[in-house]
Amino acid sequence: MNAPHDPHAPFVHDLSPAQLRALQENSARLNQLPAHFHDTLSDGTAGPEMAIIPAGVYTQGNPETKREFGELTPRHVNIEQAFAIGRFCITADEFERYAAATRHHWPDHLVRTEARQPVTNVNREEAMAYLAWLSAESGHRYRLPTEAEWEYAARAGSATRYCFGDDLGCSEANTGSFQIVGRSVQGWRRFLPFCAPMNQAVDVGLYPANIWGLHDMHGNVWEFTSDLWQGQADPNSPGKVGKWFVTKGGSWFESAWQSRSCARKPRWFDELDVNLGFRAVREVETPQ
């Protein structure tokens, strides 16, 4: 981690939206990729749609005095290397291609999503198996994001609770409840909710993207990261039974408050849930 005055790493919170987009475009050109792209798989079909995330410094964690369970105190984090991350969570259709190719077994009792909905009821080991298959199919290394990478990409330069500001409305994310502020409603309409929660995961990409082109970083489904919950051992050590991992993003089941950029939740290493999915990172190597 470096201080934000590092001349080689821009402090993204000081940049305007136009500068943040230019930073992404410049990083994409440096890596000889479009800002948004997909790899071609061995059968000639397209892999998940990815977005280049430029290197930079940001403030990770919750700057507010009151913090929820497990939330990190603010610290400057230097993302030293550009990477690509999925513009959407991995969808049911995308995972089904892997399942068909590898004869992945779905237990009959599990609720399964369909088509463009994010794939759920997949545990961390199965998510990593999908990413290993995707790496072999594309010739590039895919993996889960670290927590620092995930939050940096979700914030996209924002220092507010959400990438859209300090409040989140139903036109911006799929969460279980919203706090509507600054609106006055008269007459009979005051008895009706402004938003009706969906009560399920919806198709990816229905809500606005952040400045770097990422959708659903707030709400819809929680997303796995590669980081163990604090106080755990090295994830590469033997015997992973009993390990908890950090998930980010909130979901359709929880309130908007749980979908803040800084919010985090521990999930069991082999946990399955209808509100838990994952997003892919694709590593990029800057041409020499």
> In this predicted structure, what is the pLDDT of residue 190?
40
> In this predicted structure, what is the pLDDT of residue 195?
62
> Region 93-113: what's the mean pLDDT?
91
| pLDDT score of 110 more than 60 | yes
H or E stretch covering 266: strand 265-268
* 60: helix, strand or coil: strand
> Per residue in 12-43, pLDDT tens?
999 999 999 999 999 999 999 999 999 999 99
> Region 138-143: what's the mean pLDDT?
97
Q: Which of 81-95, 227-241, 242-256 has the lowest mean pLDDT?
A: 227-241
| pLDDT score of 185 more than 70 | no
> In this predicted structure, what is the pLDDT of residue 9?
85
Q: In the structure encoding, which two tokens stand for residue 98, read together?
A: 């892997």
Residues 6+ apart with CB under 8 A from 100: none
Domain at 12-178+197-283: CATH code: 3.90.1580.10
Q: In the structure encoding, which two tokens stand for residue 181, read together?
A: 């502020």
> In this predicted structure, what is the pLDDT of residue 61?
96
Using alpha carbons only, how large is the chain's radius of gyration in Å? 19
> In this predicted structure, what is the pLDDT of residue 189?
38
Q: Please give the angle made by the CA atoms of 117, 118 and 124, to the nearest 5 degrees.
A: 155
| pLDDT score of 218 more than 90 | yes
> Region 171-179: what's the mean pLDDT?
81
* Gap between the Cα atoms of 107 and 122, Å rounded: 11
| pLDDT score of 1 more than 80 | no
> In this predicted structure, what is the pLDDT of residue 8?
74
The residues with which 279 forms a beta bridge, in sequence order, are none
The residues with which 14 forms a beta bridge, in sequence order, are none
DSSP percent split of the chain into helix, strand, coil, nearest 5: 20, 20, 60
* Gap between the Cα atoms of 157 and 57, Å rounded: 9
In this structure, are residues 225 and 248 in contact, taking their beta carbons and an 8 Å threshold? Answer: yes
In this structure, are residues 213 and 51 in contact, taking their beta carbons and an 8 Å threshold? Answer: yes
| pLDDT score of 236 more than 80 | no
| pLDDT score of 93 more than 60 | yes
Split at pLDDT 50, 70, 90, the class of 241 is low
User: Taking each helix axis from N to C terminus, what angle separates 124-138 and 92-102, rounded to the nearest 10 degrees?
Assistant: 80
